[in-house]
Structure 1
Amino acid sequence: MSAQVPESRIRWRRGTVTALGRTWRDSVELEVDVPGDGALRALAHPSVVGTPEVGDAVLLNTTAWAQRLGTGGYALVVAFPDRLPADPTGPGHLVKGRYTGLQVTVQGVDEQETPHHRVIAEAEDVGGMPVVVADLHSALPAVLAGVLATAPQLRVAYVMTDGGALPAAFSRTLDGLAGSLAGVVTVGQAFGGDLEAVTVHTGLLAARHVLGADVAVVAQGPGNLGTGTPWGFSGVAAGEACNAAHVLGGRTVGALRISDADPRPRHRGVSHHSLTAFGRVALGGVALPVPAELPADLEVQVAEDLAGQPDRNPVVEVEVEGLDAALRDLPVGLSTMGRGLDADHAYFLAAACAGRYAASLVRPQ
């Protein structure tokens, strides 16, 4: 009896590059003509697959494109088979995307051959550095706005976890924030940051002791996986990030996901993602900043939602003066689940309050 051939879990297509679009960081948008599908919007990461040119034959993974995903709805370039890039020659033996067809090798800040190995090996803690943990990547610029509106001299590093997109290059937000951040550390299976690290723990140590950050923000890359179940969402890892910050002596701050605009009841008021990650997964205590000014109905709902938080998680009211202006002055557009600043103001304001509160915790060096 012949073995059954397993069904493919990837939607493969071949096509031809017909046009090049916008570029950012390590990303290039393409238009690809695919027989049977027509013109597709595709995305290539040149450091992984090489630099595209019009006329290139291209092999695509169109799974996300076919599902019309909101964040990652691109056809993704797997290879330009007729014009492969040169072999890598740089240092590094950390493999990310391990044992997939697109695993990449990077140099980790924590591996032996890096000049930072001794610093990471000898560091025992982050010296009380405030660590803001958020569920969604969209909170990052708002948290940054809150920090810098309060104390513009502070250095803020971003530690990107692997719950969403794995390539940091996918984030147009990071491209727009270049120069505003002390640096990006990609941890776990995420890659493409200014520094690479194996774990959230060494990522936080690198943020503090290599990048010289006063404040770190930890959140997954663009995208989010949720199932509508109490535990089945990628943001559960936010609670584990709080545990990492706590064990390293950080002062942990939760950026609450607050909304009166989300059409899903489980995300209105304080999202069940925040309540679970901070209230049930994080074990060491997380400060939970809340804007001092919210619409009356939302204020009541938020208070009711947070009433069940454990005593180890203090709820802190934060003044919002100047934060709206700081959010509007950001060099990047704000968007969460397709909603901008005015459409979901409370969400971004809450993230900015987390940044403001973190700034107030910074100890003089």
Structure 2
Amino acid sequence: MPFSATPPPPSRIRWRRGRVTTSTRSGRDTFQLTVDVPGEGELPALAYASLVGAPEAGDDVLLNTTALAQGLGTGGFALVVAIPDRLPADPEGPGHLVKARYTPLQVTVQGVDEQETEHHAAIAAADDLAGMPVVVADLHSALPAVLIGMLATDPDLKVAYVMTDGGALPAAFSRTLDALHASLAGVVTVGQAFGGDLEAVTLHTGLLAARHVLGADLAVVTQGPGNLGTGTPWGFSGVAAGEACNAVVALGGLPVGALRISDADPRERHRGVSHHSLTAFGRVALGGVTLVAPRGLSSELGGQIDEDLAGQPDRNPVVWVDTDGLDAALGLSPVPLRTMGRGYPEERAYFLAAAAAGRYAALQVPVDEVEPAVHVEAGDGTDT
């Protein structure tokens, strides 16, 4: 049937043109800008150099201001779509995987699992994680605390981060990753996410790459920054944490759940153990996942954690982990610890639970498998 002659649908993007007034490199692949937009004044903007080039003061730019206009916390920037008068050079080099597929800004990357890569044979032959512990969390903000828990327990562990595509697609959007990069064995971006040290088609090949290419002892899986939630049990991008646990089980790894626990969130559904953790781990992770809670925290919260976890299925063992030294380690985080607009120690329960999951996972790695690795050091940073 031919298309009917109806008017085109309204735009789903809020387009603006403007001129760059200031441009500062803010990460390995990002520039933070102020852009003067006629009729709206100066707007904060973000540009990915690998996509649009390096903006300079005086450049005219095309912007997507949709998220900025909606007042989204994580997405509080206009995004540079193009520098029309100074386009970057054509891409060079290998790579045939297309990510952000069939969007106007689809990108070509070299995947660790594609035929032309040096790692293709290793990934094609790999079928098992050999029991590697993998901590799964539903929010990107858990990543630094999980890593701190791991390396505070054993600073010689090699930890890989596998970023899924439930939130931001470009890894470069995460300033957390810029600050933590030296403390990681590497970043693997999977699915439609891109910009990691390694690219993979699926979470499964991403996990195998973490183990067999990066040589990781442990891995952390979360979505990128900027989750999508609707206030419903199932309408939350972090529900995919349960699917990530299933992938770990299918590959012979050990899934460890970082529980989302709060006594500061004003929303009742997130007090104690968040309903999102109970849904993702309790109902979606059908292969089972070890759930980790900080010892003593339930008593501090009036027994609520015990009550919330009482209905977990038998496939999900609950373990209570000692947290000696973790508060001090969290206080030395190389990035500000923030989740849902609240920091540490206001959200101490959340970050302590993530660090406890990291500690438990670290304790599951056989000592004879660990080789000296990079260390987390105290320093300054900003979190996205």
Aligning the two structures, in what range does the TM-score lie when normalised by the shorter sequence?
over 0.9
1:351 and 2:338 aligned:
no
1:213 counterpart (216, 221, 227): 216
Structure 1 counterpart of 2:117, one-letter code = T
Output the CA distance in 2 between the equivalents of 1:362 and 1:296: 29
> Which string of whole-angstrom CA distances, capped at 9 and with x for unpartnered residues, describes residues 176-220 of structure 1?
112100000000000000000000000000000000100000000
Calculate the TM-score normalised by the size of structure 1: 0.98
Does 297-306 or 47-56 show the bigger shift?
297-306
For 1:244, the aligned partner's letter is: A
Q: 2:113 aligns with which of 110, 115, 123?
A: 110
Aligned to 1:337: 340
Q: Deviations over 1:296-335 (max 9, x none)?
A: 3525111111001101101100000000111111211110
Per the alignment, residue 225 of structure 1 pairs with 228
Give the structure 1 partner of residue 19 of structure 2.
16
- Offset at 1:99? 0.3
Partner of 1:323: 326
> d(CA) in 1 for partners of 2:173 and 2:147?
19
1:291 deviation in Å? 0.4
CA RMSD of aligned residues (A): 1.0
Amino acid in structure 2 at the alignment position of 1:228: G
Q: How far has the Cα of 1:144 moved from its partner?
A: 0.3
- TM (norm. structure 2) is 0.94
How far the C-alpha of 1:94 sits from its partner, in A, is 0.4
**Mapped contact 1:21–1:31 kept (Cα < 8 A):** no
Number of aligned residue pairs: give it. 365
Quick one: which of 90, 94, 99 aligns to 2:93?
Answer: 90
Q: Which residue of the partner structure matches residue 57 of structure 1?
A: 60
Aligned to 2:241: 238
Q: List alignment gaps of at least 5 residues for structure 2.
A: 370-384
In 1, the alpha carbon distance for the partners of 2:25 and 2:48 equals 12
Q: Are the counterparts in 2 of residues 131 and 252 from structure 1 also a CA contact under 8 Å?
A: yes
1:22, distance to aligned residue in structure 2 (A):
4.6
The alignment status of 1:43 with 2:46, answered yes or no, reads: yes
Q: Deviations over 1:9-45 (max 9, x none)?
A: 0000000000013511211100000011110000000
Deviation, structure 1 residue 90: 1.5
Distance 1:230 1:75, change over 3 A: same
Of residues 248, 251, 268, the one that matches 2:251 is 248
Equivalent residue letter for 2:217: D
Letter in 1 for 2:15: W
Percent identity of paired positions between Structure 1 and Structure 2? 76
Distance 1:60 1:155 in 2: 39
**1:1-365 superposed matches below 5 A:** 2-294=5-297, 296=299, 298-363=301-366, 364-365=368-369
Offset at 1:295? 6.2
SS in 1 for 2:108: strand
1:80-139 deviation line (CA, Å, top 9, x unaligned) = 000000000111000000000000000000000000000000001011000000000000
Q: Structure 1: state its 5+ residue gaps.
A: none
User: 2:140, 2:353 → 1: CA distance?
Assistant: 14
**CA offsets 1:136-182 (integer angstroms, 9 cap, x no match):** 00000000000001111100000000000000000000001121000
